[in-house]
Amino acid sequence: MQLPTNAFKAALRAGRPQIGLWLGLADAYASELFASTGFDWLAIDAEHAPNDPRSVLSQLQALAPYPVQAVVRTPSADATLLKQYLDIGAQTLLVPMVESAEQAARIVAATRYPPEGIRGVGSALARASRWNQVGDYLHRSTLEICVLVQVESAAGLDNLATIAATEGVDGVLFGPADLAASLGLLGKTADARVQDAITRGIETVRTAGKAAGVLSADPAIARKYLASGVLFVAVGIDTTLLVRAATDLRAMFKDVAALPQSSATPER
């Protein structure tokens, strides 16, 4: 049995932009629906959405037949959690709230088996190795694991150059919402100061030879970041799309409440 190829990692290394969508519904059926819509990658959010290893597992299984790559955003940088998500088959991890090169190095170590890292060896129980049916998984798994760190604070920006230069870090994603809050601009992700900070950050990441990414549901801003050199962009969030579509649909029928009511008695 072959080790699954991480097409997302390969695309980043080749410099091919990848367009993604954020998943927060925490439901395998919904995730499979979005897997059929043509995005390059889908971010399964376990930080802010009500996901856990079991619900993430079901979504990884739902996405597997489709030509889309899963990116799992973990709740934290805890090595035990990273190990669990890797063992259930996540090949690309996005770790939030990274603020130093030391933290980034610990994250990378958690994705590598000893002696290069500290990942616990449990491949006989792991979907990632197809329960030890993938030949030489222990020595080859790192080839397809993609480590993304999320910089979303003023402290992270201050240390961005060393974070991006950390060996084993494949890319850096900027989180506009938390970054705006950290800069004293809570809720103002479109503020020019936030956009300028991210644009400068993109250049820093590119200088380090790594892939830069961002989440932006505003098409104009997303295109601006793409023009600045980001390689992976999430251009929407499933929950936001659903709420907006439902709200717009209901608005089409607001006039119904103003129509005269029929006095006819319904037939029984």
Active site amino acids: 48
- Please tell me what DSSP assigns to residue 262: P
Provide the residue type at 52 as one letter.
D
Spatial CA neighbour of 204 closest among 238, 246, 241, 159: 159
Helical H segments across 17-170, by residue range: 28-35, 53-63, 79-87, 101-110, 137-140, 154-158, 160-164
The number of residues making up the chain comes to 268
d(CA 93, CA 72): 5
CB 7 within 8 A of CB 41: no
Q: Which helix (H) or strand (E) covers residue 214, if one does? A: strand 211-215
